[in-house]
Structure 1
Amino acid sequence: MASLFGFVHRNWLIFNPPEASKSAAPLRFGILGAADIGPMALILPAKSHPDVVVQTVAARDPKKAKAYAQKHGIPEVSANYQDLLDNPNIDCVYIPLPNGLHFEWALRALKAGKHVLLEKPSVNNVTEAEALFKNPIINGPKAPVLLEAAHYAFHPAWTTFMSYVSPANVSSAKAVLWVPSWKFSADDIRYQYDLGGGALLDLGAYTASALTRVFGVVAEECEECLTQGAQFDSRCDQLFKARYRFPGGRRGEMEGDLKAPFDHLSPNLHVEHSPIVVSSADAGVKVPEDQEVVRIRKIKFTNFVMPSVFHSIRIDDEFQTRKAGDKSGKTIKKWTNSKTIKAYTFKEVGIDQPGEPSWTTYRYQLEEFVNKVHGSEARQWVSGEDSMNTAKMIDMAYTAAKLPLRPTSKLVDGNT
């Protein structure tokens, strides 16, 4: 009963966060686009952050921007995107525009001196990623901050999960992410090629980035990618199943579906390690001097994308004892230790960082974004290299699927 109450209370607070008193000089955000993701990604998290105020919003349709501002308590409406960027009172810009517009407006915002929180996927392809994240404008001590909003990586559950992962020793991993079939209409922007549509760019931004973090490197090749085209535009994939080869012959897989059946609910991440010799203390046993203990670790992270709603991290460690140095596979003894853990705050897992059980991945992300803008060292972060690696993984998959890469912005050649 107590766990059920905690679940209900935590999730109620996610959508009804407490209002924080604002500091004397908070960072003032503008939102480019009256996007549905805006409330969850920024507007609600900003309510509980003392150093953040969502000041203005701009949209292609001024009437839509006005209605959006009224609905979400945003005090100002900008006439258009450029008007928002020209506003000297705006410090930071959140960009949840269609994927195909990310490169252009992120670059314009950076040139206007604004810090940029850029919705995932950061851009359409690796050409745009390299042009954006290698741009000289974001280098230097006073350069604006640019962050791709891979929000799951900021939650304490992800940090806890990664504390059990040894990237160099991972032998295989699989990331899956499904969206129920009723979620997006047939003409949604996710199915429009010219706007950067496709399941790989949308859901794959999560699964591909998770794989690169788990393995610690980008894949060498996408060996196979099976897709199903969307009805609205066959160049856009509705679902994908991709298989990658990582250095050392290791295997990574990812699946995503924008029209998943009802029995496909939770985003899961499965990781398996290669056998390694561990100390008897790590195994919790004493063994004779002529024996050694081998461990094979398997981890399942349930709901790695939105762990603030609910999640679990199950660690299964299979131990074997054998004669020291014996590689024949002959086992003396075998047993398994299993445990399931959860982490809604950093303090739960012994890390001295701020957080509340009801903080979403987006709220933890906002905390670090503000810290970075203020010049503090990032404790969790998504680097430009991380974002470029994600783009590489997605481009590999589209190439393997024999689908065209999403179009490159005409501004890439003149981005400096």
Structure 2
Amino acid sequence: MASTASPNFFARLRMAKPKTTCSKNPDALRIGILGAANIAPTALINPAKSMKSIIVVSVAARDQEKAKAYAKTHDIPNTHPSYDAIINDPEIDCIYNPLPNGLHFEWTRKALEAGKHVLLEKPATSNAAQTKILFDLAKAKNRVLLEAFHYRFHPASIFFRQLLQDHIAEGHVLQKVESIMSWPSFFPKDDIRFNFALAGGIMMDCGCYTLNSIRYFSGLEVESVQEARPKIVSPEIDGRMDAVVNLSGSHSPGAIGKLTASLTNPYFSIDTWRNILPSFTAETDTKIFTFGVFVMPTAYHYITVKDKATGKVENLPKVYAEGYSTYRYQLEAFVSAVKGANTDSIPGWVSAEDSFKNMTAVDDIYRSAGLKIRE
């Protein structure tokens, strides 16, 4: 659906943060939150307010007073005194895990063992071996485990991927893809993003998005790492990563992927602000496809196709559909899967294999960069 038939910019922003909560279905899923996380209002609490099929019923934090204050602020009816308590509450169906990266494995495993479905913030775990263990457990327990690459569920992302794949299906060869998420130093040096003990590093932050987008939009997998050049901000911690990977799959032999991920760019640099918006580009033998602001297309995005022979650039209609946020579309997909939908039929779904391959590629980039994989 083109933007002319969709809610306008301000309406979309209002939809992303509803002031009231809709009535809930009698069989609405009951989900609890691990930790009083800053991302949870955007990723879960606000999207759930406008959905009849799910309700946020509780939050657990290691500081009970913090949990109570958080619950009051976000209109969450209950709190639990510990992560174990909320995970083992029989009245709760699902768990949302937005804890620091280094805690994903432990607490997601406990939630799955307790029979809970889990919406898990990315990256899934600290390394590929842990990711495999979690998804094997989810399969054994017949529980849904979804790594929250929310951008994939937005109609604009689904449209762009299909556009590129249709072009390739016509016999065109993908030569190069590039994904960029490159920002100034928004966070202090002691932020958890830069803490090795908590599985920090840029590839564990926006870097895993760039890698995932390369794999998702191209339909190819990382075969090997050509080069990985980190900017080290503390021992074993990358504040920036520039990498080139060799891609392989059912089409386009010889294709490469380039990624740039950074949270260390200087504030007072023209280049920093010129490249502030995340972008994805795919170049084939005849055309160049660009998806601007691919990771957060709700507020704004653009999709262009450039003809390499003529230089003509086609600006395609923006795709906002109903106007919901990426997180709302993701939550709809998660609920559908929990209620029994075949995940193969859910556009954008992040499968167990997908999560494992993404984490494997992250590990490979760290090894190529001369850094330890996260533990």
TM surpasses 0.5? yes
- Structure 2 Cα separation of the partners of residues 55 and 110 of structure 1: 18
Give the aligned partner of residue 184 of structure 2. Answer: 180
- Structure 2 Cα separation of the partners of residues 87 and 54 of structure 1: 14
- Structure 2 Cα separation of the partners of residues 249 and 79 of structure 1: 54
- Structure 2 Cα separation of the partners of residues 160 and 20 of structure 1: 29
Amino-acid identity (%): 39
Give the aligned partner of residue 319 of structure 2. Answer: 343
Give the aligned partner of residue 396 of structure 1. Answer: 364
Shift of the 265–18 alpha-carbon distance from structure 1 to 2, 3 Å rule, reads farther
Q: What is the CA distance between 1:238 and its match in structure 2?
A: 0.6
Give the aligned partner of residue 385 of structure 1. Answer: 353
- Structure 2 Cα separation of the partners of residues 222 and 180 of structure 1: 26
SS at 1:392 equivalent? helix
Give the aligned partner of residue 69 of structure 1. Answer: 71
Give the aligned partner of residue 410 of structure 1. Answer: none
- Structure 1 Cα separation of the partners of residues 317 and 182 of structure 2: 23
Q: What is the CA distance between 1:29 and its match in structure 2?
A: 0.6
Q: What is the CA distance between 1:176 and its match in structure 2?
A: 0.4
Q: What is the CA distance between 1:67 and its match in structure 2?
A: 1.2
1:44-89 residue CA offsets vs partner (Å, 9 max, x unmatched): 0000010111111111221211111111111111010000011000
Q: How does 1:103-118 map to 2 (within 5 A)?
A: 103-118=105-120
SS at 1:144 equivalent? coil
Shift of the 92–126 alpha-carbon distance from structure 1 to 2, 3 Å rule, reads same
Q: How does 1:271-290 map to 2 (within 5 A)?
A: 271-274=282-285
- Structure 1 Cα separation of the partners of residues 371 and 242 of structure 2: 14
- Structure 2 Cα separation of the partners of residues 61 and 229 of structure 1: 33
Q: What is the CA distance between 1:138 and its match in structure 2?
A: 2.3
Equivalent position to 1:198, from 194, 197, 201: 201
Shift of the 191–23 alpha-carbon distance from structure 1 to 2, 3 Å rule, reads same
Answer yes or no: is 1:306 the counterpart of 2:296: yes
Question: Which segments of 5 or more consecutive residues in structure 1 lack a partner in the other structure?
Answer: 275-295, 320-333, 346-355, 408-416
Letter in 1 for 2:68: K
Scaled by the length of structure 1, what TM-score is found?
0.81
Verify the 8 A CA contact 1:209 1:389 in the aligned structure 2: no
SS at 1:338 equivalent? strand
Verify the 8 A CA contact 2:17 2:47 in the aligned structure 1: no
* Residues paired across the two proteins, number: 354
Give the aligned partner of residue 192 of structure 2. Answer: 189
Verify the 8 A CA contact 1:173 1:269 in the aligned structure 2: yes
Give the aligned partner of residue 269 of structure 1. Answer: 280
SS at 2:314 equivalent? strand
Give the aligned partner of residue 163 of structure 1. Answer: 162
Q: What is the CA distance between 1:318 and its match in structure 2?
A: 4.1
- Structure 2 Cα separation of the partners of residues 12 and 317 of structure 1: 37
SS at 2:244 equivalent? strand
Equivalent position to 1:8, from 7, 10, 25: 10
- Structure 1 Cα separation of the partners of residues 306 and 311 of structure 2: 10
Answer yes or no: is 1:254 the counterpart of 2:268: no
SS at 1:220 equivalent? strand
Letter in 1 for 2:121: E
SS at 1:200 equivalent? helix
Q: What is the CA distance between 1:308 and its match in structure 2?
A: 0.4
Equivalent position to 1:365, from 330, 349, 355: 330
- Structure 2 Cα separation of the partners of residues 88 and 12 of structure 1: 34
Letter in 1 for 2:182: W
1:338-361 residue CA offsets vs partner (Å, 9 max, x unmatched): 23221111xxxxxxxxxx21x110
Verify the 8 A CA contact 1:314 1:341 in the aligned structure 2: no
Q: What is the CA distance between 1:390 and its match in structure 2?
A: 0.8
Q: What is the CA distance between 1:128 and its match in structure 2?
A: 1.0
Letter in 1 for 2:303: I
1:314-352 residue CA offsets vs partner (Å, 9 max, x unmatched): 112346xxxxxxxxxxxxxx674623221111xxxxxxx
Scaled by the length of structure 2, what TM-score is found?
0.90
Q: What is the CA distance between 1:215 and its match in structure 2?
A: 2.9
Q: What is the CA distance between 1:389 and its match in structure 2?
A: 1.2
Structure with bigger helix share is 2
- Structure 1 Cα separation of the partners of residues 218 and 302 of structure 2: 21
Q: Which has the larger radius of gyration?
A: 1
1:133-152 residue CA offsets vs partner (Å, 9 max, x unmatched): 2x1x3226x71110000000
Question: Which segments of 5 or more consecutive residues in structure 2 lack a partner in the other structure?
Answer: none
Letter in 2 for 1:204: G
Verify the 8 A CA contact 1:170 1:214 in the aligned structure 2: no
Shift of the 96–343 alpha-carbon distance from structure 1 to 2, 3 Å rule, reads same
Q: What is the CA distance between 1:217 and its match in structure 2?
A: 2.7
- Structure 1 Cα separation of the partners of residues 311 and 105 of structure 2: 52
1:279-307 residue CA offsets vs partner (Å, 9 max, x unmatched): xxxxxxxxxxxxxxxxx121110000000
- Structure 2 Cα separation of the partners of residues 7 and 340 of structure 1: 18
SS at 2:31 equivalent? strand
Equivalent position to 2:339, from 374, 378, 392: 374
- Structure 2 Cα separation of the partners of residues 266 and 6 of structure 1: 20
Q: What is the CA distance between 1:235 and its match in structure 2?
A: 1.2
Letter in 2 for 1:51: S
1:370-415 residue CA offsets vs partner (Å, 9 max, x unmatched): 01111123322110111111111111111111011101xxxxxxxx
Letter in 2 for 1:404: K
Letter in 2 for 1:201: M
